[in-house]
Amino acid sequence: MTEIKHRSVPVNGITLNIAEAGEGPLVVLLHGFPESSYSYRHQLTALAEAGYHAVAPDQRGYPRSEHPASADDYSILHLVGDVVGLIGALGAPDAVVVGHDWGSPVAWNTALFRPDLVRGVVSLSVPFQPRGDIAPLDGVRAAFGEKFYQIYFQEPGVAEKELEGDTAAMFTKMFYWYSGDSPQVQNLITDENGMTGSLALPEELPSWFTAEDIAAYTAEFAEEGFTGALNWYRNIDRNWELTTAWAGAKITVPAMFLGGDKDPVVNWFDPATLELAMTPAVENLTSFGLVEGAGHWIQQERPDETNAALIAFARSVDR
């Protein structure tokens, strides 16, 4: 099997750890929350064997990469700047930029801000959402109330207490209950025990997620904790303020979306009309798919389907 290697790369005044494999046109894989480059372990090798230089950074604030102290250093401009800087540091003229979960807004905005550097953009799980007329947290408060998870993540120290308590149990619950193996689609509403505290531990793990995977994630977050990752959420309204100049702008590069029909995020929207809803703002949506029975962690839950779709899309935009 193709080997995944790790190294540090200086980018925009900080150091990012990257996991990489293969040689060829660059594909950058951006993880989400609460994950790391490890979440792309299946895609790195598959893309490498298909003839690509596959690179998954541990993004700022996440394990093995630097954690700037100020929450202000986690805006969307910083996050997109890291991707732009990474493409340059790797000596590539451009990249297919893939994002999952929080990595998806970073991927979408990289395509929006710097289409000259993006051969194609892929989002796993999170559709493109054009900048709205009201601050995003006001919008989710109106739609879901004060207990929506994004609101819960705002106060420093509160979510950290939950996530850094029994971290292994938290990961077990998070990955199970937000996956397609869960008996019900979660609503992302917290309670007095936070986001996962009231969820039961599954009697057995799903086939795609092992005890070794739980141990790997737990060990990664043991040293630095979750504050850096949570600081991304603490910039949601600030990102809206910073992106005023892009109001009404559209994604023009070739784009792909792949989600699971049991993904809680996909189900915020109407899955039946999601493709049609995206096309006005994503002008060149060349690939769209919903995987039956898959949940939020699609590249881990369904690696074969995800890899096939990624490789087909990457080949379609090769120059």
Catalytic residues: 101, 296
Structure tokens at 141: 């408060």
Q: 28 near 97, Cβ under 8 Å?
A: yes
Single out the residue of 44, 36, 88, 40 nearest to residue 61, CA to CA. 36
The residue whose two tokens read 């039961």 is 200
For the sheet containing 255-260, what is the strand order?
5-11, 14-21, 53-57, 26-30, 95-100, 118-124, 255-260, 285-291
Cα angle 304, 167, 104; round to 5: 45
Which of 239-254 are b and which e, b meaning 16 or more Cβ less than 10 Å from the residue's Cβ? bbeebeeeeeeebebb
Q: Which is it for strands 14-21 and 5-11: parallel, antiparallel or unpaired?
A: antiparallel
Q: Which is it for strands 14-21 and 53-57: parallel, antiparallel or unpaired?
A: antiparallel
| The one-letter amino acid at 37 | S
Query: What count of Cα atoms within 13 Å lies in the side-chain half-sphere of residue 305?
Result: 18
Beta-carbon count within 10 A of 73 CB: 19
